[in-house]
Structure 1
């Protein structure tokens, strides 16, 4: 009995192996009729081999679009089905075996909802595979479908790095431009979030800042009264100074004997960077307002505006060409610039344990979420007047690498290596046609 069961198991295993081989072979060759017959013999069950490959994977690998449509539309196979290594039909459709049929296969898979950023066990995305093979048309299609140009595999390589390794220059230039475009878009989005955050901080902490200013004024008057008592000045001057402190304390809600408490509250709530607005910022605001008022007065009275700087070599006559524009025109052209208001009296900027930026307001609240920007950019946005302007900045990606650390592909085989020029120079001595011509010439 056991012997008959083992024979039946062997027969079923051999039949399953034959059906699996038939399905995979039919999909690889693109024979729709053979594939349908093999699927009917397996009761519409799609077989899987020991590596996790199915007929859909083989059809995508060899670019058999008709077989892919049959398996996906009639037998409802998933376009994101992965084998044991994490390879999906979209990965396999970008292989070198697909040939010129890769673009239509990739386009069909994307139309059927294939995930464009799916990763294998080694971290490869379909964009990595397309960059490795140098398929620029497929790279363009994947990027338009939302492929991540900054994705990294398990070795930390991006699709742009693979283009450089395999010397696909046109693909590398396209991916580099898309990476720059994505960085600029993300930076603009985060800067808008930073601008909104600044407005929210100013709106919520305005009352707290005004109360702290009043407390500072009360403390200054108290120190002034103590100084009067130590100096021994006349009583009339002391009484007038004390009356001023009483009126200011009433307006700020200050009670007698609470000076120490006010000092403690100020030292606990006021951050190190929380200082009163500097006079330079007020002067800048007043100066800008005065400029606007002067221009308005000139326009109202019809006076002539001031002449521009004469950039000509000869001061007696203006320059021949006039390529400059008015300052107001430049301002209108860049009307979406961000505000340069200093929040030094509202917030404290620091770093947490992981080195990430952390923003605390003057009332002790921690602002979250912080925009995804470098610490220097957040500092320059919050405190534009205190951060010095750096004249020399090296490019972000300009880093020195050792030649041994540069990623490169393996050495070519002997058959792939270029021939030496010596063989071309010695061709005249080896080529029999040349020898025949020379002998005929000598015989004449």
Structure 2
């Protein structure tokens, strides 16, 4: 090979099946160069022969997946990208500058590549060494369609994460309710034991025999009667129809189907709220300097970390009675895609230069007095 290239092998025999790596003076392998120039046939030949590593890194931390998104790889960027992903390329690797493949695809305005990376789970919130996300790079270089795709993907990921955190909060709340009821039961037993002891001491001081609780026999008789009697069977459909039918004319009920779910007819006859104890007196929330919220319950006095949610969301989730809703409606909110929303066009029509978008972001990127 030439003087500016060198070959490193783990075995002297190239045909022994051991991977053979080739580097240039910049640390680029043959696979890097093939991906940089969009040579799909070379990529297939190299990967099928198993003589290169699909995730090999150069001296600057660039992988073949990064090189496939360079300007020189057009118009075969998407083909090379999908082929590398199918053969084990990591979609979230970053260079020494913190650039992920999604950063480079967004900066180049490669819509299909961005969509492919998002589908395989590329991190839409990743930041490079300057703190830029792929969305910010797409906005900086004036790629509106790519920016909307990234914004939609980030919105869906944020909502999914938010729903997971809210589910964790609800599970924690149910655990608190169980502990609260258990603590109330123990306190009730302790009060009954204290009252019984005081009654016994009073009877002993008066010289009276030990008194028996007057409610014991009555409770036993009532419990026996309730369980010995045969339960009366009711027709649930008729009972539901009677409760739901609020028409002034019972012979002509409203035209609706009782068998439908409660969410369909909640506007006519809303269901009663679940009977939950008030945790406001037994649970205290504290926010520390790092922004993390902890709760302290009266039954253990041990700070417990809460899910990573805003303080007001945690308060509304744990203490709903303290924050009544201003608006109550029967309809459930349905999520919509950002791509379906109407958007404004460019200032000069669809043929506006991308440099007009760059000028809009110079004020955010360039700090006065620094250059």
Find 1:375's aligned residue among 304, 307, 311.
Answer: 311
Q: 1:179 to 1:185 in 2, by over 3 A?
A: same
Q: 1:344 to 1:356 in 2, by over 3 A?
A: same
The equivalent of 2:163 in structure 1 is 188
The equivalent of 1:55 in structure 2 is 30
Is 1:407 paired with 2:352?
Answer: no
Q: 1:211 to 1:84 in 2, by over 3 A?
A: same
Counterpart secondary structure, 1:60: helix
Structure 1 residue 56: deviation in Å?
A: 0.9
Find 2:141's aligned residue among 148, 166, 179.
Answer: 166
Structure 1 residue 386: deviation in Å?
A: 2.1
Structure 1 residue 404: deviation in Å?
A: 6.4
> What are structure 1's unaligned runs of at least 5 residues?
1-14, 22-38, 219-246, 257-294, 307-325, 392-401, 409-444
Counterpart secondary structure, 2:62: coil
Is 1:205 paired with 2:163?
Answer: no
Structural mapping, 1:249-328, within 5 Å: 249-250=194-195, 299=242, 304-305=247-248
Relative contact order: is structure 1 or structure 2 higher (C-alpha 8 Å, sep ≥ 6)?
A: 2
Q: 1:58 to 1:404 in 2, by over 3 A?
A: closer
Q: 1:331 to 1:90 in 2, by over 3 A?
A: farther
The equivalent of 1:361 in structure 2 is 297
Structure 1 residue 197: deviation in Å?
A: 1.1
Q: Distance in 1 between matches of 2:274 and 2:135?
A: 32
Find 1:97's aligned residue among 51, 72, 85.
Answer: 72
- TM-score, normalised via structure 2 length: 0.64
* Aligned positions, number: 279
Which of the two has greater helix per residue? 1
Structure 1 residue 136: deviation in Å?
A: 0.3
Counterpart secondary structure, 1:371: coil
Q: 1:199 to 1:302 in 2, by over 3 A?
A: closer
Structural mapping, 1:2-401, within 5 Å: 15=1, 17=3, 20=6, 45-212=20-187, 249-250=194-195, 299=242, 304-305=247-248, 329-330=265-266, 342-364=278-300, 366=302, 368=304, 370-387=306-323
User: RMSD across aligned C-alpha pairs, in angstroms?
Assistant: 4.1
Contact 2:111 2:145 in 1 (8 A): yes
Q: Deviations over 1:387-429 (max 9, x none)?
A: 47699xxxxxxxxxx9765137xxxxxxxxxxxxxxxxxxxxx
Structure 1 residue 145: deviation in Å?
A: 0.5
Counterpart secondary structure, 2:21: coil
Structure 1 residue 119: deviation in Å?
A: 1.1
The equivalent of 1:6 in structure 2 is none
Q: Distance in 2 between matches of 1:162 and 1:175?
A: 11
Contact 1:160 1:176 in 2 (8 A): yes
Structure 1 residue 343: deviation in Å?
A: 2.2
Contact 1:80 1:115 in 2 (8 A): yes
Structure 1 residue 152: deviation in Å?
A: 1.1
Contact 2:177 2:276 in 1 (8 A): no
Counterpart secondary structure, 1:170: helix
Q: Distance in 2 between matches of 1:91 and 1:103?
A: 12
Contact 2:20 2:51 in 1 (8 A): no
Q: 1:150 to 1:331 in 2, by over 3 A?
A: farther
Contact 1:209 1:346 in 2 (8 A): no
Q: Higher Cα Rg: structure 1 or 2? A: 1
Q: Distance in 1 between matches of 2:324 and 2:244?
A: 41
Q: 1:195 to 1:253 in 2, by over 3 A?
A: farther
Q: 1:390 to 1:302 in 2, by over 3 A?
A: closer
Structure 1 residue 198: deviation in Å?
A: 0.9
Contact 1:341 1:384 in 2 (8 A): no
Contact 1:90 1:106 in 2 (8 A): yes
Contact 1:358 1:370 in 2 (8 A): yes
The equivalent of 1:276 in structure 2 is none
